[in-house]
Chain A
Amino acid sequence: MRIAWALALRDLRGGLRGLRLLVACLFLGVTALAAVGSLSSSITAELNTRGREILGGDVELRVAQRQASAGERAAFDRLGTVSESLRMRAMTSRTDGGASLLAELKSVDARWPLYGRLTLAPGARSDRPRGFDATIAPALADALSLRIGDHFRVGQAELRVIGLITDEPDRVGEGFTFGPTILVSPQALAATGLVQPGSLFTARYRVRLADAADTTKLADELDRRFRTGGWEISDRTNAARGLRRFIDRLGEFLTLVGLSALIVAGIGVANGVGSWLDQRRPSIATLKILGASSGTVFRTYLIQVGLIAAGTIIAGLAAGAATPALVAMVAADALPLPLRLSLYPQPLLTSAAYGVLASLLFSLIPLARARTVSPATIFRMRVEPFRRPSWPTLVVMAMAGLAVAALAIGTASQPLLSAGVLAGAVLLLLVLAGSGALVRRIARALPRPRRPLLRLAIANLHRPGSQTIGLVVALGLGLTMFVILAVLQTSLATQIERTVPATAPNFFALDIPTTDIERFRAAVHAESRAAKIAVVPSLRGTVVAVRGVRVTDMKPVPEGAWILNGDRGITYAAHLPQGSEIVAGRWWPADYAGPPLVSIEEQGARALGLKPGDTLTISVLGVEMETRIASIRRVNWETMGFNFGIVFAPGTLEGAPHSYMATISLPDAPESRVSRALVKAFPSVSLIRVKDIVGQLATIFDQMALAIRAAASVALASGVAVLIGAIAASRRARLYDAVLLKMLGATRGQILAAQAIEYALLAAVIAILAFAAGVAVGWYIVIHIFEFRWTPDWATILATLGVGIVATLGIGLLGSLALLNARPARALRQL
């Protein structure tokens, strides 16, 4: 081993020249993984560190549509200091009847915030809202042109702006919201008249514990105790659960994209190490002549690859670890909360492990081949026939491959998805490699064209040492990822564009009091005769037991059982809602008046294995009801109407205090006129413009697509590195061709044309493969995973593919330009 180390260190004096491709590809792959891991860690760390501030307390208890009873409040007070806040959607408008906007109205008591601090922009008249004063988010001030001291209207109250919010400490913990915040006192909230029996608001009770107890244990205890009342409990260790889950999932998905990029990079590693060892053949043969065993040769070059890979991995980890700081500098506004900049060892260790395993996996074959270089190579250059790597090599490679898979699947929260994506990537690799081999075979079998340039171009695709397979795989995989993304993005965008105008209503109206329903209809029709209004009762309910088993005892909650996630919107109906179809059981008669029956949405039912006849215990406004499932429904969510997961039969909820929701379609009147009239006549009703929701969804999707595209770019960049490496590796052969052609009278233009033909042929093959594979995978994801309609925009997809192909192969051609300037006489002497 000592001699191998000595030889390796001496050989490394030759520099990294031959191993640039290994360095470039491994650096890209490891950087991508380390960057994704560090980014999601710095968000999660911020959530963890500021857990109390984000949650607003050590423990939070929240309930929908009601406040705590005196008994419940007394129980909370015994835990420590309690702060109450209520949050609801509310329409707000200028006092002069001008612009109106949907906002998030939040009342806070004098103890709020228990942790953190409310920060207001300079110029505020007070540090917190009191009486009929309000502090508002700047977006609301902009939309309604409000300044400090101005008045505005919410419900029946007229409030005064006393400050603009720059930081609302528990904002992230309260989840997705529709509009800008208005912070008011409980007195002001009461004056709005919006809190009525049945109106949709959330009451939160944050507790600052008297002693630093185990909050998770306490939250579990509280959960058992208060679950029956429809309470949901969080503690400081799991604040912003939704955001945390989203970050985790996105992080995992991006890691998988990064892993696919690392596989492309791996091809670069294999090609880089292979061509580097090819350059070293005379040295390897010389070492063998001097008595070095094949083991010594193998170890000598393994040490070198190992040292360079280690250096590259460390550099990649450093770049990845620095990425959050870079993102914080350039894109802080796009993030849900500030990043906690620090060094996170766990994602770096995982990325380093991936880097080491990929280096081992992809450099073993060329290293094993170097082991078998015959010393007789010194006497005659001959192309060594490809030998199957030895069993020990194959075993080590298989173990490295399995370790990569185990690491990816073992660290995932959705192992099945990770395994599926990995299996898909490997399958895609095999298909691309098979296609590359087929291209070589076809090129070899083609009749030789009479035109020499075309003949040369085709010969370059199959001549010994040609890297057609590696290029098809590397560029093919990168471009396939881009096609998949284009398919997904355009399918979703087209779907939103096509569906929204056709079937979506113009407005959702929430919190219509039961007594005002007819007046509301009349008001809409007064503005728009042809308006269509669909009205449904609306309540909130929490599933507390399934077939008699308490949800609190179900650990873990089954994946996809979304109907168990906190309180959900529920309704009751005599007739099957539009856009739903029964897949099991039967819909109840319109005049049903028996024991409570419910109809459940198909996917939620499937996740819990529910079937007609099973029981569900549902808590509505603190009252538990045992219901029996009458039917399972398939819901077409695309209609953008009101679709409820749980629908009650008539006869159970009518007596409970509740409000109505409505969808309003306006074929013959401008949205602004109708909205102005409704806001004025019904100050307690919230109006949501559908276009705004679609806009928000599109923005979120665009941001996610940007992140995914950034990770996929690493795959394409690795592909380009492989291409450049392939050109460099075949430089000698290409230079020889170019020089001979020149000697025989070919112009530089003709030589360039031959190269262009070769790359165009390769481009065509890769484009067809990437298109076919990308569309097939994209179709599967759109139809079977997202369950959307198949509506890709072919022009955008083809343009994406075209730009990718032209850019990558343009680089190839640029790389060939240097060959054109070679002087024949000098080059022939050197070759």
Chain B
Amino acid sequence: MTSPLIDAAGVALTLGRGSARVDILKGIDLSVSPGETVALLGPSGSGKSSLMAILSGLERADAGRVAIDGLDFTNLDEDGLAAARRGRIGIILQAFHLLPTMTALENVAIPLELAGVADAFDRAGAELAAVGLGHRPSHYPQQLSGGEQQRVAIARATAPRPALIFADEPTGNLDAATGASIMDLLFDRQCETGATLFIITHDAALASRCGRIVEMRDGVIHSDQRAG
């Protein structure tokens, strides 16, 4: 049996204090194997984004344990988590979050540069071509459409060949047709790279394309179903 890529146990997160205290996550146990595609469903405020933030090392849990690809995140400080993400985790966000002062090519190259990859720009160029934007490497984010920006974000996430890709509502800011093409691209890239894909979405149709659907409600996992 292969060891899980995501191994979370008893993950809890609380924000605020006193009367403003909110328990966001209430003891989450989750295990995801390499190569799986997982959709995380749930209403607003159910804790989806917080769980993703903890699993990707963007936020630290108040309780519980998280290990990604065998590396225990629990005791890592912020810089340790940043180093742990490099080459291991790719993240795609609803609002794209490209760096506005950098070109499409430079945006894709950053994670490679941070990881000290020598041919960062060559690989970024290839990655950009793979998402269909090989002809627009010098464009700045504000010169690109929403769909194109999300393509750049996908290229940026997949460029270091991470074992795990998180996508938080990747089509939330896009129209239906563009959203569909972006999802096609994302699944294609996942197939080609063999990465584990972890998607947060409200979209049941999109979730159905995943091999596994986890549903959250009120800070706990309500259901966990595998397709077929």
Contacts and interface: CB of A to CB of B under 8 A. Distances in A.
A807 B111 CA distance: 50
A294 interface: yes
A296 B114 contact: yes
A288 B59 CA distance: 11
Interface in A269-288: 282-283, 285-288
Contacts of B161: none
Contacts of A286: 97-99
Contacts of A372: 78
A3 B114 contact: yes
A375 B58 contact: yes
B165 to A, nearest CB: 13
Interface stretch (B2-10, B30-38, B81-89, B123-131): B81-89
B196 interface: no
A552 to B, nearest CB: 67
Given A3-B114, A10-B106, A287-B110, A293 B101 contact: no
Interface in B161-190: 168
B106 A374 contact: no
B156 interface: yes
A378 interface: yes
Nearest to A291: B86
B99 A379 contact: no
A15 to B, nearest CB: 9
A145 B91 CA distance: 92
B115 interface: yes
Contact of B110 (A7, A13, A294, A375): A7
A167 B149 CA distance: 75
A295 B80 CA distance: 12
Contact of A290 (B49, B101, B114, B168): B114
Interface in B187-210: none
Identify which of B59, B83, B99, B168 gathers the most chain A CB atoms within 10 Å of its CB. Answer: B99
A12 interface: yes
B156 A290 contact: yes
Interface of A is mostly: helix
Interface string B87-104: 100010100011111100
Greatest chain B CB density within 10 A among A282, A290, A294, A372 is at A290
Contacts of A288: 58, 78, 82
A375 B53 CA distance: 9
Interface string B153-165: 0001000000000
B50 interface: yes
Interface residues on A, range: 20 to 34
Contacts of B83: 291, 293
Contacts of B79: 293-295
A814 interface: no
A12 B114 contact: no
Contacts, number: 80
A289 B114 contact: no
B113 interface: yes
A292 B97 CA distance: 15
A379 B114 contact: no
B16 to A, nearest CB: 10
Nearest to A283: B99
Contact of B59 (A6, A13, A294, A376): A376
Query: Which of A11, A287, A376 has its CB near the most chain B CB atoms (within 10 A)?
Result: A376
B58 A14 contact: no
A298 to B, nearest CB: 11
Contacts of A292: 82, 110, 114
Contacts of A6: 113
Contacts of B50: 379
A286 B56 CA distance: 13
A3 B100 contact: no
B49 A379 contact: yes
A11 B99 contact: yes
Interface in A371-416: 372, 374-376, 378-380
Interface string B135-166: 00000000000000000000010000000000
A376 B85 CA distance: 14
A290 B58 contact: no
A664 B226 CA distance: 114
A286 B141 CA distance: 14
A378 B168 CA distance: 11
A824 B183 CA distance: 36
Contacts of B59: 374-376, 379
A14 B100 contact: yes
A98 B106 CA distance: 89
A283 B115 CA distance: 18
B58 A293 contact: no
Contacts of A283: 99-101
B100 A374 contact: no
Given A375-B58, A378-B58, A378-B93, A291 B115 contact: yes
Contacts of B49: 379-380
B210 to A, nearest CB: 21
A10 B110 CA distance: 11
A6 B82 CA distance: 19
Contacts of B58: 288-289, 374-376, 378-379
27 contacts: A6-B113, A10-B99, A10-B106, A12-B101, A13-B101, A14-B100, A283-B100, A283-B101, A285-B97, A286-B97, A288-B82, A289-B85, A290-B85, A290-B91, A290-B114, A291-B111, A292-B82, A293-B79, A294-B79, A294-B82, A374-B78, A375-B59, A376-B53, A378-B58, A378-B93, A379-B49, A379-B53
* Interchain residue pairs A-B with the least CB separation, the first 9: A291-B86, A376-B59, A14-B101, A375-B58, A293-B79, A290-B111, A13-B101, A291-B114, A286-B97
Interface of A: 3, 6-7, 10-14, 282-283, 285-296, 372, 374-376, 378-380
